[in-house]
Amino acid sequence: VIGAGKSYFIREVTGNQEVKVSGGLYSSTSKVQPYSFEYLGEKITLIDTPGFNDTNKPDTEILKEIADWTSKTYKKNQLLSGIIYLHPITHTRMEGSAMKNLRMFQRLCGQEVLENVLLTTTQWSKVDPTEGEFRENNLRDEGLWGGLIGKGATLQRFHGTRESGLELINKLVSKTRKPLHIQDQIVKQHLTLLQTDAGKFLNEGLAAQEKRFKEELESLEKQLREAIKAKDNEMNQILAAEQAKAE
């Protein structure tokens, strides 16, 4: 989710101050970028990815970049230990774009890896604890995160510190590594990106958007025709009145 703090999380946990963190609503991550650091004698690599609904890059390009990167690493037998899905607790409700991101996330990952997924809320310092807990409980709804939690995903919190981030890392490093659904579809099943579940979902969204724009355009054109017709009728009435006066 854009604005959830993916890059901030990575900078805090890795200690790498070169990680660019956005200070606004726009994503600071333009491409898939790995960042490695040493922790308890092991090399840990965190992957920063661009978010969907980025105003600077179309979703099709973002999906292709993620698919290309994950496919290349899968072919090298490099699998992820887990996925940390970040969502700002400052959001009063799950907006349309956040729901779209969640649905895309499900299609990218598939059900087999949900035990390796941490659904993590961020920015707790910006909300009243009671209000934050209320929003967190709402996320447990079956139509939001509840279905994923029921299939193995875990609800967690990131409190903005390295210690808090490392607690999340500790929950994942011992997990059995599994391929993402999109990795299996592209590498093992030899599907094209548009044939994958993620690709189909994105394509359906674009088709629905195109249909909506077409309907809106047709409605505007109809209103314009009616306005012109009404104006013509008004002009004809004025001309008729002027002609009657002249006679």
Task: Give the phi and the psi of residue 147 in degrees, each rounded to 5.
Answer: -65, -40
Q: What is the pLDDT at residue 205?
A: 76
**What is the distance between the alpha carbons of residues 247 and 245, in angstroms, rounded to a whole number?**
5
pLDDT tens-place string over residues 171-182: 999 999 999 999
CA dihedral 71→76→79→84, nearest 10 degrees, is -50
Topology classification of domain 6-191? Rossmann fold (3.40.50)
**Per-domain residue ranges of the chain:** 6-191, 196-247
pTM for the model stands at 0.79
- 193 burial level (CB within 10 Å; 0-12, 13-18, 19+): buried
158-216 tens-digit pLDDT: 999 999 999 999 999 999 999 999 999 999 999 999 999 999 999 887 666 666 667 77
The pLDDT value recorded for residue 231 is 80
Number of separate helices (H) and strands (E) present in the chain = 8, 5
Measured between alpha carbons, how far is 67 from 31 in angstroms, rounded to an integer?
Answer: 12
Contact indicator for 143, 103 with CB cutoff of 8 Å: no
What tokens were used for 74? 């899968």
Q: What is the pLDDT of residues 31-83, one digit of tens each?
A: 899 999 999 889 999 999 888 876 578 889 999 999 999 999 999 999 999 99
User: In whole numbers, what is the pLDDT of the chain averaged over residues?
Assistant: 87
DSSP state, 18? T
Q: Is 11 exposed, middle or buried (0-12, 13-18, 19+ CB in 10 A)?
A: buried
- Residue located via tokens 């946990």: 13
